[in-house]
Amino acid sequence: MPNMKRLIFYILLTVLFPEAVSFAAMTNVYGRDYRLLNGRWDAIVDLYDQGDRMKVYENRKPEGNTDFYEYSFDGGLRLEVPGDWNSQSPELKYYEGTVWYARHFDADPKPDCREFLCFGAVSYRCRVYLNGREICSHEGGFTPFEADVTDVLLKGDNFLVVEVNNRRTKDAIPALAFDWWNYGGITRDVMLVTVPDNYVEDYFIRLDKKNHDTVNVDVRMSQPKAGVKVSVEIPALGKTVSGTTDAQGSFSARLQSKKLRLWAPDAPVLYDVIIAGGDDSVSERIGFRDIRTDGTRILINGRPQFMRCISFHEEIPQRMGRACSKADAVTLLSEARDLGVNMIRLAHYPQNEYIVRLAEEMGIALWQEIPIWQGIDFTDNDTRDKAQKMLTEMINRDKNRCAVGFWGVANETKPSPERDAFLESLLATGRGIDTTRLYVAAFDLVEFDKERKIFTMDDPFTRNLDVVAVNKYMGWYHPWQLSPAESKWEVNTDKPLIISEFGGEALYGQSGSRDVVSSWSEDYQARLYEDNLRMFENIPNLAGVSPWILFDFRSPFRFHPTNQEGWNRKGLVSDRGQRKKAWKIMHDYYHKKKLEYEK
Ligand code: GCB
């Protein structure tokens, strides 16, 4: 039995290589034969976690005169999937706890095929039941997972239940407090996916690091079986490589073409690629690019780039809810493009595939990170294992997205032996899967050295990174000690440095003093931007900047009753989509930088 063989293989792998990263789940779910199970699901809010005891996943109905159940999925709350629950009912706006989701669906399993239930993301932890049986569980609100349901799926009616819980805990990632809304729910697409019995489970197709006319191809079939025919074709280049799998079910090859054109920000060349193995075939658009550092510069396809970056959360402010559709991706990315960016730092977690794929088509590079955001318990080995798993899931989902140039492993952490070991293990995990991206982390411990009149940072961990990034809120959290023109930087001068966050709050439409922080005015925010842009001229190794943030976003951190009301107001664009004065300053700066680098 192939599954038993694989199980033994996995067990052996764990015994022989305890540090080995688990294999990828099915790559490119959207390229498969799938059916969306989105729509309105029934829901039960379970504040005291009683559903498990009552076995609500069995969905039993009273039989006979003396029988009754104190729950029912019929006639109660209904919630849209994908979607967060917070924006769907006023009572759930602040809810942190358990909600049970349920729906029926018809299936007609095909012979000689495998059926998978695939979840884009569930926030934050969940357990999934099909026809009364637990089929999988998952922790981590921003990465995909799947369950093979071939043996549980019924012809005709099926009953699917997902227990979702978004309670914040010390051992979670992110942990107890974070500066964005703790949306709960089935926040991304749910799909029933049908694949042949032995299917193309995973592939990694990318540009060779040395030869830019060569594509490296690794394909792995789901069954560790030798002799299965595999091919990878790029029709536009008139090229195919083919061969057969080895005993692990893997196939590797190199595809060469003098006609190969590379993807770059502002020049998003993508190719249709067809990956066939045994009876299976998957296709998607893939691009090829090289990203590396050279001293303090970032080079894409050999050309120096200034990363004109912006961040946004996976949130549509107007709706006060999670972004979850292609239309939402268009909303977020068009505003980013209008600012003149060539990169987006997806804050602070892997965002949905609509955003990632559309950004790639639009020619916007991506920095994608896991939510290792302040307050993480670096002494907890379970938390470290979770972080490794999240990183693995993120990289595996998007390793074929050439737009992703940076994998971020942490945001604002403080040096300690435990932190260092934790982050080093993440870098090892990441580099074990993918060495075609730059590894980065954002730090906030840059200090002003009064004697030397210089900004410096002492964090030995930065040695391990390809690019160092700094969040520094001059003029907001940190008053200026010298004028911006006099504020010099000496931070990791041997590497490219990205200012990954800077900015300050302003309420759209509010005018006030350009000198007073607490005016919360567009005028003060605009001045802060002017000052910071002036200071950036004094950073010799500056390779990019990223204002914090594109849109005002919801955050329980922000209590001010008139200026904030539960919103972080650092957006260049308000929650209603109006551009603040600082937007224009940033826009013009990016335009200037673009021309400078195009020369
Ligand atoms: C930061 C964090 C970001 C916050 C921001 C702020 O340094 O990385 O998540 O939202 O500051 O507004 O304070």
Picking from 255, 252, 212, the residue whose alpha carbon sits closest to that of residue 236 is 255
Does residue 552's CB lie within 6 angstroms of at least one atom of ligand 1?
Answer: no
**Tokens representing residue 93 in the block:** 């706006």
What is the pLDDT, as a whole number, of residue 21? 31
**Which domains can be identified in the chain, with CATH numbers?**
2-191 (2.60.120.260), 200-289 (2.60.40.10), 292-598 (3.20.20.80)
Q: What are the tens digits of pLDDT across the range 43-97? A: 999 999 999 999 999 999 999 999 999 999 999 999 999 999 999 999 999 999 9
Amino acid identity for residue 378 in this structure: F
Q: Whose CA is nearest to atom 7 of ligand 1?
A: 471
Phi-psi region of 317 (alpha: psi -120 to 50; beta: other; left: phi over 0): alpha
Between 326-339 and 581-598, two packed helices, what is the crossing angle to 10 degrees? 70
CA 503 – CA 592 distance, rounded (Å): 20
Q: Is 411 in the pocket of ligand 1 (CB under 6 A)?
A: yes
Residue-level pLDDT at 24:
58
Select from 455, 454, 423 the least CA-distant residue to 439.
423
Q: Is 413 in the pocket of ligand 1 (CB under 6 A)?
A: no
Q: Is 444 in the pocket of ligand 1 (CB under 6 A)?
A: yes
420 CB near ligand 1 (under 6 Å): no
For ligand 1, what atom is nearest to the CA of residue 411?
8
User: Taking 60 as the threshold, does the pLDDT of residue 472 lie above it?
Assistant: yes
Q: What is the CA radius of gyration of the chain?
A: 25
Contact of 192 with 106, CB cutoff 8 Å: no
pLDDT tens readout for residues 229-275: 999 999 999 999 999 999 999 999 999 999 999 999 989 999 999 99
Distance 184 CA to ligand 1 centre (A): 21
Is 179 near ligand 1, meaning CB less than 6 Å away?
A: yes
Cβ–ligand 1 contact at 500 (below 6 Å): no
pTM: 0.95
Separation between Cα atoms, residue 179 and residue 557, nearest integer Å? 6
* Atom of ligand 1 minimally distant from the CA of 570: 12
Whether 324 shows a pLDDT value over 80: the answer reads: yes
pLDDT at 93: 97
Cβ-based neighbour number of residue 599 at 10 Å: 4
Facing residues of 104 across strands? 159
- The 10s digit of each residue's pLDDT in 338-357 is 999 999 999 999 999 999 99
